[in-house]
Structure 1
Amino acid sequence: MRQDIARNYEEAKKQYASHGIDVDQALAELSDIKISIHCWQGDDVRGFLFRDQELSGGISVTGEYPGAASTPEELRADLTKAMSMIPGTHKVNLHAIYADTDESVDLDQLEPRHFQKWVDWAKEQGIGLDFNPTCFSHDKSKDGFTLSHPDPEIRQFWIDHCKASRRIGAYFGEQLGQTCVTNIWVPDGYKDVPVDRMAPRQRLKDALDEIFAEELNPAWNLDAVESKLFGIGSEAYVVGSHEFYMGYGMRNNKLICLDAGHFHPTEGIAGKLSSLALFTDGILLHVSRPMRWDSDHVVIMDDELLEIGRELVRNHLLPTTHIGLDFFDGSINRIAAWVIGTRNTIKALLRAKLEPTEKLKQAELDGDYTTRLALMEEFKSYPFGAVWDYYCEKMGVPVREEWLAEVKRYEQDVLLKR
């Protein structure tokens, strides 16, 4: 341990302890939190099954920064490098199109064996895996509909794909000893105002009922459903709206996924957490950064991220909340994007843990809003950075921006040679 880091940490501990905050305990709790790192940042959501397929479903990645992974081996190497600069032991989130196989296989025929190399790698890394069916960028989704498609044959294709995905997720959980969250998101919707809003939603409900009919061990697989306000090609109407999935999830005991970019551009998700928590057994978060729309920018430590962290900590929601990332930026080094976004998410949780939550709650209960505001503002300048530096040093990852030099070396030695 570097002396300057240890000295700064001890001084910071004293300041926090004056308000009853046990910093050592906060760091111990932080080390148990797993962030699900999304694989699709590493290759601009191309995957390996249909690499020549044009992106669809409202998904767009801009930028041509060199070094995007083009093989499963490259992507796993990049993820390994990124995780070496992120404190803690986490998870990796896969989409179905990232199957690692030499077979020519369509989405509805995928099996656990097509992901065995990912499982073997995860075992080596000591991490868990999460999963998602890929209901976009496919010939059968070109018209913008999948699970709510009016054609029963096309709809059945997507139902079968989601069934297969759940079995793959359960296999991940069984093999790795860490519960896999399998999340369903579909891009279904209309560009212009529809006449019939009910029928597509009825078809989606029926499709989901069929998908979830097979009972799987919840210790291995948990199901989640994800809403969206609008997207490219579905500006006027999205079948899987927030209201639809909130109702479906509550009635059917499924995790409801809140994606930070899937609501109105000025609407945050932090305030929704306490409401959902009262009526559900768990929540799935997709932490992203919308800019103007669901543009999936790299997560920064902005007000919304800090509020998400505070809501999770203040309301003791971390044990029942699954936190994943969902952004993709092809204009910067993709490994740096992972590191920045994941470290910021962890930082936000740590900052929340270093607030005098109980003292703030009591001041609020007493109607002492002056104390509440004063303390909330003063704690913004408390020595959080010294605690973060100590945590990184203790966990064996680079301190502050030291990780950037390692990323630059990897870029020169590996990425630019692809």
Structure 2
Amino acid sequence: MVKEQEVKSAYEVAKERYAEIGVDTEKAIEQLSKVKLSIHSWQGDDIHGFLNPDQELTGGIGVSGNYPGIARTPDELTQDLHEGLSLIPGKHKIQLHTLYAVTDRKKDFDEVGPEDFKYWVDWAKEEGVGLDMNGTFFSHPKVKHNFTLASPEKEIRDFWIKVGKQSRAISNYFGEELGQQSVNNFWIPDGFKDNPIDKLSPRKRLIESLDEIIKEKYDEKNTIEAFEGKLFGTGIESYTVGSHLFYNNYAITRDKLWTIDAGHWHPTEDVSDKFSAFMPFGKGLMLHVSRPVRWDSDHVVIFDDALVRIARSLVRDDLLSKTNIGLDFFDATINRVAAWVIGARSTQKALLQAMLAPIDDLKKAENEYDFTKRLAVTEELKSFPFGAVWDEFCQRNNVPVGLDWMDEIRRYEKAVQFKRN
């Protein structure tokens, strides 16, 4: 077990090192404490939800693995979320889907409303977290030939329009009850496996459907919509209706948020480059921080180069106030609670490392064409003791330091999760 005094001593040394280059570690700790991650509920139950848990996953979504201890009920899922949150420093938010409604009778997706999320609101108040929302547009018989809101059939579109409208009402309910804005994210799986004849009409139908969904006005202090594009998906390899450019334009013209999922781009693209290109025109961003291996495989987020670049872009360009950082991955080959902890703590580490830099000084050097200083300082920063600052941040937030949290995970899986099977 890491000793408190050892953490404090290491932090004092790191504090002095950073001060030598004009970096205030206390300011960085304070800045990080204000960042709320939106942690996804679906890592805990492999995206089964509670409406139709036996329905096969569709929409290009798949979860591999069968590690014991999966959450099967609302109480088990919130118990696991509580355990995960206790090991992640700070106060955060939880992302939900229509699938996670807790109903008193059998309901279809389009029937689910705010009353079916009272369970979650009560839990969130007790836990001290916020809630974000996602309408579920997959794993349902009315995903017909991979089409929902862009379907050529009005009956299909009308069903999913109702789902979208209901998700907005639910998100608004979250905001009203919890006193913090709830982001309502829209992603749909519509597209063609093979080459379409007509690429324009589906997008026109999608615009009409989305416009109908967002027609009712809600106070943005309670809820705001975000729209998530994709390069392609399993079953829609040739044509994706809701492409990146489509939703980029839709978000700008409707004054909404644009969602960037780190796994939804070509493997050679750097998603962090998109932020500064969009922000001068857009209202703000919703991120789904994931880890693609080859492509959109939703591996658990780790402290890798892609995550470091995402964090640097947000911090160096001062975009945190207009960016909602959500996590989106699912892995059933490892302990599901540990997956939340690893992904969230890695994201926080990347943000902290980005904050621990003399950014104003480096921008000044850049504007004065002192590229030598820019390169020298950014390279030296890579070996600065940011880990000691991270340990101090964890200690101040009363969560385990270093790998001590794994001891709690092992205790929890033996005492709770393994007894479920």
Normalised by the length of structure 2, the TM-score is 0.98
* 8 Å CA contact retained: 1:184, 1:225: yes
* Counterpart pick for 1:407 among 395, 409, 413: 409
Aligned ranges for residues 13-28 of structure 1 at < 5 Å? 13-28=15-30
* 8 Å CA contact retained: 1:287, 1:323: yes
Q: In the alignment, is residue 198 of structure 1 matched against residue 200 of structure 2? A: yes
Q: Which moved more, 1:110-119 or 1:367-376?
A: 367-376
Distance, in Å, in 2 between the alignment partners of 1:329 and 1:196 is: 37
* SS of corresponding position for 1:306: helix
2:55: which partner in 1? 53
2:7: which partner in 1? 5
* Counterpart pick for 2:336 among 312, 330, 334: 334
1:245: which partner in 2? 247
Q: In the alignment, is residue 258 of structure 1 matched against residue 251 of structure 2? A: no
Distance, in Å, in 2 between the alignment partners of 1:177 and 1:45 is: 27
Cα offset, 1:191, TM superposition? 0.6
Cα offset, 1:102, TM superposition? 2.9
1:29: which partner in 2? 31
Cα offset, 1:25, TM superposition? 1.1
Distance, in Å, in 1 between the alignment partners of 2:247 and 2:154 is: 22
Q: Count residues with an aligned counterpart.
A: 418
* SS of corresponding position for 2:142: helix
* Counterpart pick for 2:392 among 369, 390, 393: 390
Distance, in Å, in 2 between the alignment partners of 1:28 and 1:304 is: 24
- Measured against aligned partners, the alpha-carbon deviations of 1:44-72 in whole angstroms (never above 9, x if no partner) come to 11111011100000001001111110101
Cα offset, 1:142, TM superposition? 4.2
Percent identity over the alignment is 55
2:40: which partner in 1? 38
Distance, in Å, in 1 between the alignment partners of 2:234 and 2:80 is: 30
1:118: which partner in 2? 120
Distance, in Å, in 1 between the alignment partners of 2:182 and 2:260 is: 17
Cα offset, 1:343, TM superposition? 0.4
1:83: which partner in 2? 85
* 8 Å CA contact retained: 1:37, 1:324: yes
- Measured against aligned partners, the alpha-carbon deviations of 1:287-339 in whole angstroms (never above 9, x if no partner) come to 00011110000001111101111111111111111000000001110000000
1:371: which partner in 2? 373
1:98: which partner in 2? 100
Listed as ranges, the gaps of 5+ residues in structure 2 are none
* SS of corresponding position for 2:382: helix
Instruction: Give 1:334's aligned amino acid.
Output: R
Distance, in Å, in 1 between the alignment partners of 2:149 and 2:58 is: 15
* 8 Å CA contact retained: 1:56, 1:142: no
* 8 Å CA contact retained: 2:147, 2:191: yes
Distance, in Å, in 2 between the alignment partners of 1:49 and 1:249 is: 30
2:310: which partner in 1? 308
Listed as ranges, the gaps of 5+ residues in structure 1 are none
* Counterpart pick for 1:297 among 296, 299, 302: 299
* 8 Å CA contact retained: 1:255, 1:282: yes
2:269: which partner in 1? 267
Q: In the alignment, is residue 357 of structure 1 matched against residue 338 of structure 2? A: no
Distance 1:225 1:17, change over 3 A: same
Distance, in Å, in 2 between the alignment partners of 1:407 and 1:266 is: 35
Normalised by the length of structure 1, the TM-score is 0.99
Distance, in Å, in 2 between the alignment partners of 1:216 and 1:149 is: 27
* 8 Å CA contact retained: 2:148, 2:156: yes
Distance, in Å, in 2 between the alignment partners of 1:213 and 1:343 is: 38
User: Which consecutive segments of 4 or more residues in structure 1 shift more than 3 A?
Assistant: none
1:149: which partner in 2? 151
RMSD: 0.8
* 8 Å CA contact retained: 1:111, 1:164: yes
* 8 Å CA contact retained: 1:261, 1:290: yes
Q: Which moved more, 1:355-364 or 1:44-53?
A: 355-364
Q: In the alignment, is residue 135 of structure 1 matched against residue 130 of structure 2? A: no
- Measured against aligned partners, the alpha-carbon deviations of 1:131-188 in whole angstroms (never above 9, x if no partner) come to 0000000000142000001110011000000000000000000000010000000000
1:233: which partner in 2? 235
2:383: which partner in 1? 381
Distance, in Å, in 1 between the alignment partners of 2:340 and 2:4 is: 26
* 8 Å CA contact retained: 2:252, 2:283: no
- Measured against aligned partners, the alpha-carbon deviations of 1:25-53 in whole angstroms (never above 9, x if no partner) come to 11111111100000000011111101110
Instruction: Give 2:22's aligned amino acid.
Output: G
